[in-house]
Amino acid sequence: MSRIFRKIRVRLLRENKLGRYLIYALGEIVLLVIGILIALQINNWNEARKLQDKEFAALAEIQSNLQVSKKRIEEVIKDQKTDIRHFRQLIEHLAEDRAYHPSLDTIFDKVSNWTSPYLTYTAYETLKTVGIDLIKDQDIRDRITDIYEYEFKNITNDWDRYEWERAVAVTFPFVEKHLRKDLETQLSKPNNYEELKQNVEFLNILHSNIGMRRDGIRKYKSVIEKIDSLSYQIENILE
């Protein structure tokens, strides 16, 4: 009888050791899986942080470029306002039949000239290369695309091209016929000032120039408003 009890005892001890081994092995597996999951999570966090750093760097560059372009547009607006003031002065001068004065040469020289904004696209071109989806915020992505693909191109291509086409068709031929460059001052003088005062085409060109500059100022101010709005959004993200 004692032999039977001994055998049962030995068997129970063996089964108990096996159970503890299985529990230990299972614990090791669980710890290994948890370690792998933690490592994967850390890796994901690191990758997400790297992407965020790239996104913030791209936004900072866009922000910087926008401010440069805004400054150049503001300079154009300033020149446009000066042009309008000068053209009005010249129209008034001619209408009141005043005598010619060399100070008018600066205005005559501006008749066929205009100021174009030289906008900065470097950051946007870089962003397109890496993928604009790098910017997570959909609204900001849309605004960036709108400014660069529509607003800026409208200024540099459509608006500026219209100025050029009008100058080639109307202003340049008139200036070549009625004005000449002074070699000393590099400004333009009328060939026949008295005749120019009565020239209806010249008055039409001056009035048309004023209208073009007004429209340009409105367009440029609209673009600046969009730049300011986008810049404000970008600043909030970067802060």
Average pLDDT, the chain: 85
- Residue pointed to by tokens 């440069």: 68
Q: What is the pLDDT of residue 27?
A: 65
**Termini Cα distance of the chain:** 84
AA identity, residue 202: F
Q: What string of pLDDT tens digits covers the 239 residues of the chain?
A: 555 545 544 454 455 554 555 565 566 676 667 777 676 676 666 666 777 788 899 999 999 999 999 999 999 999 999 999 999 999 999 999 999 999 999 999 999 988 888 899 999 999 999 899 888 999 999 999 999 999 998 888 877 888 888 889 999 999 999 999 888 888 999 999 999 999 999 999 999 999 999 999 999 999 999 999 999 999 998 88
Place of tokens 């460059």: 181
Contact criterion met (CB below 8 Å) for 206 and 227: no
Contact 188, 182 (CB under 8 A): yes
- pLDDT tens by residue, 96-137: 999 999 999 999 999 998 888 889 999 999 999 989 988 899
Which residue type is seen at 111? V
Structural domain count of the chain: 1
- CB-CB contact of 223 with 151 (8 Å): yes
Q: Give the residue numbers spanning the domain of 113.
A: 2-238
> Whole-angstrom Cα distance, residue 227 to residue 140?
11
Handedness of CA 29, 32, 36, 37 (dihedral sign): positive
Measure the CA–CA gap between 130 and 140, rounded to whole angstroms. Answer: 16
